[in-house]
Structure 1
Amino acid sequence: MDPRNALQLASVGDIVDAVVAADRLLATVSAHRAELIDEARRRSELSEATTARPAGARWDARTVARRELLSELACALRLPQRSMETLLAESEALVHELPATMSALRAGEISYRHAKAMIDHAGSLPAESRKEFEEALLPQASRLTAAKFDGTARKARERTHPETIRTRHEKCAGDRAVHLVPARDGMAWLNAYLPTATAHSIYNRISDLAISLQRPDETRTLTQLRADVLSELLIDGVGAPGTPSAGLGQGVRATVLITVPVMTLLGHSEEPGHLEGYGPIDPETARRLAAKAPSFIRILTHPETGCVLSVGRSRYKVPKDLRRWLRVRDETCRFPGCNRSASRCDIDHGLDWQFGGRTDSDNLANLCPPDHDLKSETGWSVKHARDGTLNWTSPGGRTYSTDPATPMGPAPPPPF
């Protein structure tokens, strides 16, 4: 063997050892993080006894303490509050319910993904069954990939769980959901969490329709046909994806907000449009959607700066005009880390109306109902800047800023 090759292999081996050591360190740090998060939870609960609630408050001291802790940690770690809630529950489980798993994580013997799999499966068992389950499964975690271990733990849970699968399925079916996940280049994932039989029925149905459309001259793959069939079924209510560029169907029409630069709309520019809740879309798609829109809210943008110049006042009631204007400006809930669409938000007065707050753009912002309640019931406060920036201060004194999604000029004055 060439000595140079031997030296290179030895060097690679050393690097692999270093990577393994770094990975073990990550596990140790994850265990320490779990301990700190759980300690924060413990201290937060202790503060409940000393927290006085004003008369008429909708939240009790326990709810306030928990929501303040969740929001403080979520903002500090730049996580959605729901993700932080999961991390808080996982930390509590590791510290108090799965001590052997916590020890293995602290020693770097397993990764956090392995620990999470143990939490997910052991946590759904009765408390008296968890220790035995943990002792039986944990040795396998150190020799299997996280995915393999998850599958092994799932099978063991099925054998161990005292409840029938029917009872457990009925409980889990309550968590069914659909999620939209933005991707790159004008694409997105539409994910559905459904009962297995329903999911398979849907997949088989769109597969059958897709296969029926295959022809010698059909250029689309079966996978592409499935996607087109699903789109046509959900939007038009018909399974005939023969016209890929077709717009919305004759049934229920989706409501989306699309900002199109006026020069793009006229075909004199290739500047992208902006799809609410997603971001840039290609000019051709923007023009096609605008052409098929049943009505318009007039939003003109500067062809060079992109700054909104005007919002049409096509409604008699001013609050509706302002809601439209704020929806364009904010696009999502304006609490740090929240991505809920502004179309499903409340309009909040930064300075409350009863304390002299004005109903104008400098004092209004979209907040989703949970974050609206958080602002009203806890120690969070917000100040509005003239450019639409919201400056938040947490109960612990940390500060965060959220920027408007769309640069806006002054709002049209409300004719009250």
Structure 2
Amino acid sequence: MSECFAETGWVDESPFPEPELTPDELAHWRELEREFAREGLADGRVWEFDSAPGEALSLRLHALNDRAVVADADDRVLLAGLRGVQRAKAALAAQELELVAELTRRRAPVTDTVPEMAWRAVADEIAAETGMSRYAATKLQDLSFGLSDRFPATLDALAAGRFDVRKAEVIADGLTNVRDDTVRRRLEAAAIEAAGGLTVPGLRELLKGWVLAAEPQVADERAVEARSRRRVVFTPVEGDMVELWALLPAEDGLKVRAVLEATAAQVKDSRTADQRRADVLVDLVTGEQSGVQPKTRVTVTVPLDVLAGDSDQPAHLDGYGPATALLARRLAADAVETGTFRCAIVD
């Protein structure tokens, strides 16, 4: 025992070394490691989770399977255990993505000529083996290649437990259309640093603003193309109901919401707010009920040089988030034309 310590030295992150041992001897070391973790939990030492890498983290989390140990642990240990579990889940998610990517490469090598059917056949195989739906398997497959091929730094950060797989997906989705490779790598590095301290919606909005600022002309092109996809969809649902879904330009969607909320607020009765808004929508569209049309207001915060056409930095549309300079100028032009423009200087 003492010779092992003399040869390998003492490593702070792991209480026991990794010598060349027989399987039986290694099993003995692992049991001592688990016992050490259980004692650490009882003593309230949170570093058992926060500083433990890889396999050591798994062993220390294993100690949480003992309900008596968990019942005796203080709050700091429980919170540290939760952090450790999140790190372990992120590492497992990264491993899952690596396995899916490798299996896909073997079954359907990625080339310009590989048929879509061959690619999706791998997703069907994954779904059959794991019990997940075909949609989930396909989504996992797409994410695995998006991260391993274009965002390997994000995949490495996920494996290290710096954030969860949902944030990794947001980074990939948010930066996938950035055309300049150098810009994309720079934004990816910044997103990795910021992701741990943000919620998923917060990270998504931050990335959106960065992309608009980094490639404003590209963002304008995509905004024009996106407007051509505006549509309304009706989907029958159970209970003699229909689901009404609309994809609208941001300014139009905000106007619709403002009209619905303002009109619904004029009536106070036993209906819920959702029910009043739904009824107002039907009344306004069908003309079944006449009433006072409320004025709507769309607030956009935009640098003056953007309105003058000297800059393409993103604006901020209240209730929506970062928006293109093209949209800001269009809103300003419409407001001036209709005589409803009101300017407030903001520092």
Question: The TM-score by the shorter chain falls in which range?
Answer: 0.5 to 0.7
The answer as to whether partners of 2:90 and 2:159 remain within 8 angstroms in 1 is yes
Superposition map of 1:32-71 within 5 A: 32-46=95-109, 62-71=115-124
Equivalent residue of 1:46, what SS? coil
Deviations along 1:28-76, one digit per CA (max 9) or x if unpaired, are: 0111111111112212323999xxxxxxxxxx96132023223333455
Bigger Cα displacement from structure 2, 109-118 vs 200-209: 200-209
Structure 1 unaligned runs (5+)?
Answer: 1-5, 50-59, 242-416
Distance change >3 Å, CA 193–CA 36, structure 1 → 2:
farther
- 1-side partners of 2:185 and 2:111: how far apart? 31
Which structure is higher in helix share? Answer: 2
Which of 261, 279, 285 pairs up with 1:228?
Answer: 279
Residues 1:91 and 1:164: Cα distance change in structure 2 (over 3 Å): same
Contact 1:209 1:239 in 2 (8 A): no
Aligned CA distance change for structure 1 residues 125 and 9 (closer, same or farther; 3 Å): farther
Q: Which residue of 1 aligns with 2:7?
A: none
Indicate whether 1:160 and 2:211 are aligned.
no
How far apart in 2 are the matches of 1:45 and 1:27? 27
Give the superposition deviation at 1:191. 4.6
1:303-335 Cα shifts (integer Å, max 9, x gaps): xxxxxxxxxxxxxxxxxxxxxxxxxxxxxxxxx
Shift in CA distance, 17/70, structure 1 to aligned 2, threshold 3 Å: same
Query: Considering only aligned residues, what root-mean-square deviation do their CA atoms show, in Å?
Result: 3.8
User: What does 1:61-210 correspond to in 2, within 5 Å?
Assistant: 62-77=115-130, 81-128=134-181, 129-173=183-227, 176=230, 178=233, 191-210=245-264
Spell out the pairing of 1:380-391 with structure 2 (5 A cutoff). Answer: none
Q: How many equivalent residue pairs?
A: 221
Equivalent residue letter for 1:228: D
State the alpha-carbon separation in 2 of the partners of residues 94 and 229 from structure 1. 45
Q: Distance in 1 between matches of 2:71 and 2:132?
A: 41
Distance 1:112 1:188, change over 3 A: farther
Supply the distance in 2 between the matched residues of 1:130 and 1:31 (Cα, whole angstroms): 21
> Cα offset for 1:239?
4.5
Q: Does structure 2 retain, via aligned residues, the 8 Å contact 1:230–1:239?
A: no
Aligned counterpart, 2:81:
18
Q: What secondary structure is seen at the aligned counterpart in 1 of 2:217?
A: coil
Taking a change above 3 Å as real, the CA distance of residues 175 and 90 of structure 1, as seen in their structure-2 partners, is farther
Aligned-partner residue type, residue 42 of structure 1: R
CA distance, structure 2, for counterparts of residue 179 and residue 149 of structure 1: 32
Where in structure 2 are there 5+ consecutive unaligned residues?
1-43, 45-69, 291-347
Q: Distance in 1 between matches of 2:111 and 2:167?
A: 34
Could you list the structure 1 runs, at least 4 aligned residues long, displaced by more than 6 angstroms after superposition: 6-9, 185-189
TM-score normalized with structure 2 length: 0.53
2:234 and 2:98 map into 1 onto residues whose CA distance is: 31
How many percent of aligned residue pairs carry the same amino acid?
Answer: 23
- Cα 1:207–1:148, aligned 2, differ >3 Å: closer, same or farther? closer
Deviation of the 1:106 alpha carbon: 0.4
Per the alignment, do residues 109 and 70 of structure 1 end up closer, same or farther by CA in structure 2, a change over 3 Å counting? same
SS at match of 1:163: helix
Alpha-carbon contact 1:121-1:153 (below 8 Å) kept: yes
